[in-house]
């Protein structure tokens, strides 16, 4: 069997990212690059920003450049409390260096709280800056889980993102 060579970079490519973090006592809640007033935060080695993490994995996945855990190990003290929007920008720089540019991203935030709609536009702007696209090219949508399962019980947040990349 012959293994085909990597194809010419003529076509857009899609990536998907997923992340989840549990709530822990004490705010602020860092989400989509925003510091939201809250009595809980997302527990994590970095700032716990599940939105930024899912988008990071979507852009890295589109370029087949691995994942956020490989780039920013959660055992590395340098990544403790780290700004996840800055990590996303670094992942985008990797994607650029590999010959791609981000075209567009779409995000679903699955959470009973907080409500996403009041923060949607600010999140779009923060993510767009890191992705080097216009805010119009970033979509953020909030969904509850209709009270079902761990999301429904308010134990944490899950996030799904897609990103489209095109040749530079
Ligand atoms: Mg994460």
Q: How far is the CA of 20 from the centre of ligand 1 (A)?
A: 6
Q: How far is CA 35 from CA 53, 86, 96, 122, in A?
A: 15, 14, 28, 11
CA of 1 from ligand 1 middle (Å) equals 39
Report residue 74's pLDDT band, with 50, 70 and 90 as the boundaries: confident
Tokens 């490989």 sit at which residue? 70
Tally Cβ neighbours within 10 Å of residue 101: 14
Instruction: Name which residue leads in pLDDT, 9 or 109.
Output: 109
CA of 2 to the centre of ligand 1 (A): 38
Tokens 């944490």 -> residue: 156
- Rounded distance from Cα 82 to ligand 1 centre (Å): 11
114-161 pLDDT per residue, tens: 999 999 999 999 999 999 999 999 999 999 999 999 999 999 999 999
**Interval 89-113: pLDDT, tens:** 999 999 999 999 999 999 999 999 9
In angstroms, what is the span from residue 10 Cα to ligand 1's centroid?
31
């Amino acid at each position: 069997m012959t293994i085909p060579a990597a194809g010419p970079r003529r076509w857009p490519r899609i990536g998907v990212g997923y992340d989840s973090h549990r709530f822990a006592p004490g705010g602020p809640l860092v989400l989509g690059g925003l510091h939201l007033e809250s009595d809980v935060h997302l527990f994590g080695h970095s700032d716990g920003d599940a939105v930024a993490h899912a988008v990071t994995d979507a852009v890295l996945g589109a370029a087949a450049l691995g994942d956020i855990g490989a780039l920013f190990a959660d055992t590395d003290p340098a990544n403790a409390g780290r700004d996840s929007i800055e990590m996303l920008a670094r992942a985008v720089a990797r994607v650029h260096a590999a010959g791609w540019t981000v075209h567009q991203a779409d995000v679903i935030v699955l959470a009973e709280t907080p409500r996403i709609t009041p923060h949607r536009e600010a999140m779009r702007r923060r993510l767009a800056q890191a992705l080097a696209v216009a805010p119009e090219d970033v979509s953020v949508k909030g969904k509850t889980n209709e009270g079902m399962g761990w999301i429904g019980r308010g134990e944490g947040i899950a996030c799904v993102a897609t990103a489209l990349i095109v040749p530079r």
